[in-house]
Amino acid sequence: MHPLLPSLIAACLYTSATAYQGLRITQRKVADKRLLALLGGIALLFHGASLFAQMYHSGGLVLDFFYAASLIAFAVIALTLIACLRIPVENLLLLLFPLGALTVVLAHFMPSGTTQLIDEEPGILLHILLSIIAYGMLTIAVFQSLLVLLQDHQLKNKQPSGLIKNFPPLQTMESLLFSFLWTGWVLLSLSLFSGALFINDLFAQHLAHKTILSCFAWVVFAVLLWGRHQLGWRGHKAIRWTLAGFCLLMLAYFGSKLVREFILHI
């Protein structure tokens, strides 16, 4: 199947789900979680089909800048939909569905910066999988932190919007944030460990910046989690540390890929 059709179908489904959820919020009503899950699940199927058609080749995998962004968005949405089965995080989908629509379209229409194939050795694929899931979980944490910031601001100003009125209590929102952070940090730890185990030289010329910045991000998240446990960090301080760690992590991965693929062409 040509990847254009599933890409467009996925984008339309993501957009439809966003429009439906936004409409329910403006009406100050709760969106049907089952309908959101249905639209999101079908969109993920087409998103996955598009990614497979674009990325998989007989000699290995192509994981350029826009494919990687689309793949991480796929993972983020999938993790959030799974989380929705147990915890009240469906409001995150209002931010994540547009991200999915944007990345799946860009992955198809934007020019590829590289044609380098990734070795399909199991250890390398495990490292890539752990990295993507870790980035996905920490991306969810960042979006959750932004919602916590918005909720805290509106509650302090006593002007809760329709969106905020559908949120769980602020304490629950912060607890969910740190649950995502703990899970993402553990996965990031496993990702770094698997990289050290299966990649011959993590500090090779094209991996040095990625490795160093990822380690810095790991330290930032570790300090944040220690501060939460030992000092009771919460609110704006926790959000600032979350954003700092996420920026380092995204700079490590997407910054290095952007420079390599579109500037250095390697």
For 65-98, what is each residue's pLDDT tens digit? 788 889 999 999 999 999 888 888 888 999 899 9
What's the pLDDT score for residue 228?
92
Q: Give the contacts of 102 (CB within 8 A, at least 6 positions apart).
A: 73
Helices and strands in the chain, H and E counts: 10, 3
For 7-35, what is each residue's pLDDT tens digit? 999 999 999 999 999 898 888 788 888 99
Q: How far apart are the first and last CA of the chain?
A: 29
Please determine, for residue 44, whether its predicted confidence score (pLDDT) is greater than 90: yes
Q: Residue 49: pLDDT band by 50, 70, 90 thresholds?
A: very high
Compute the C-alpha angle 71/42/92, nearest 5°.
65
SS3 57: strand
Structural Rg of the chain based on CA atoms: 19
